[in-house]
């Protein structure tokens, strides 16, 4: 029963220490993922994909490049292709266009904190496309495709009123409606209305996407909006 809502993950990265830490974050800190396999070299990636059929693949960008960066080909190995999130070692958006063109659903830095990583993975598993805030930095001037989805949501944050910004900030911290109501001294009905309204203004589908935007824009990290 405990495993019912857990999602399966393949970690593909050449560094054993990093794989072990990422496994710990996914299975223990986030608590909703099962790492079904770890791959350190290209040949292991394709073999383990076939044998484990994960829902999600977290793969080092350099390792993906050694496979020809054909994420779409990896997906073609299985009846139900996994969502692929690529991990980059540095900030900036070098390699982002390449990754998205190859079919990756996410592009994040290796040192992304656990809370934001969890929001990214939830968003990707819900068929979204996620870019880490460190990577997002210069994309507003040249949004296209996946980047445009986030550029539009970031830009629309300015359309929120103060109350909606406060609610969005707390969504970024993972608060449920009851917690938000207590924190802001509102009724649960009012919180529900604010959540619904801000999702509409930001053109988002769910709370997970809103939490991601709150973290990416830095709103979740502020003491007050």
pLDDT value at residue 140: 39
DSSP 82: P
Q: Flag whether pLDDT at 54 surpasses 70.
A: yes
Q: Is pLDDT of 146 > 80?
A: no
CATH superfamily name and code, 7-137: Response regulator (3.40.50.2300)
Q: What pLDDT is stored for residue 57 in this prediction?
A: 92
pLDDT for 225 equals 43
Q: Locate tokens 């040192």: which residue?
A: 111
Domain assignments of the chain as residue spans, ordered by start = 7-137, 149-221
Query: What does the pLDDT read at residue 66?
Result: 82
Report the pLDDT value the prediction gives residue 13, as an integer from 0 to 100.
Answer: 94
Q: Are strands 106-109 and 7-12 parallel, antiparallel or unpaired?
A: unpaired
Greater confidence (44 vs 70) lies with 44
- Separation CA 160–CA 78 (nearest Å): 42
Confidence of residue 49 (pLDDT cuts 50, 70, 90): confident
If you average pLDDT over residues 169-173, what whole number do you get? 87
DSSP, residue by residue, 137-167: TTGGGS--THHHHHHHHHHHGGGS-HHHHHH
Q: Mean pLDDT in the chain?
A: 79
Give the predicted TM-score (pTM) of the model: 0.62
Architecture of the domain delimited by 149-221: Orthogonal Bundle (1.10)
């Amino acid at each position: 029963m405990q495993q019912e809502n857990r999602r399966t993950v393949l970690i593909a990265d050449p560094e054993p220490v990093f794989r072990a830490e990422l496994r710990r974050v996914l299975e223990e800190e986030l608590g909703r993922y099962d790492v079904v396999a770890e791959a350190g070299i290209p040949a292991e990636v394709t073999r383990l994909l076939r044998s484990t059929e994960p829902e999600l693949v977290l793969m080092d960008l350099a390792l993906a490049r050694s496979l020809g960066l054909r994420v779409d080909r990896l997906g073609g190995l299985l009846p139900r292709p996994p969502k692929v999130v690529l991990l980059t070692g540095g900030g900036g958006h070098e390699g982002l266009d390449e990754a998205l063109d190859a079919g990756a659903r996410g592009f994040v830095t290796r040192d992304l904190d656990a809370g934001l990583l969890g929001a990214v993975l939830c968003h990707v598993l819900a068929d979204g496309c996620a870019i880490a805030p460190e990577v997002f930095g210069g994309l507003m001037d040249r949004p296209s495709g996946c980047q445009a989805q986030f550029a539009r949501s970031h830009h629309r944050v300015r359309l929120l009123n103060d109350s909606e910004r406060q609610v969005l900030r707390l969504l970024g911290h993972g608060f449920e409606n009851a917690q938000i109501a207590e924190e802001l001294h509102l009724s649960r009905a009012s919180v529900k209305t604010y959540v619904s309204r801000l999702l509409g203004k930001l053109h988002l589908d769910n709370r997970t996407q809103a939490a991601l935007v709150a973290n990416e824009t830095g709103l979740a990290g502020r003491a007050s909006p």
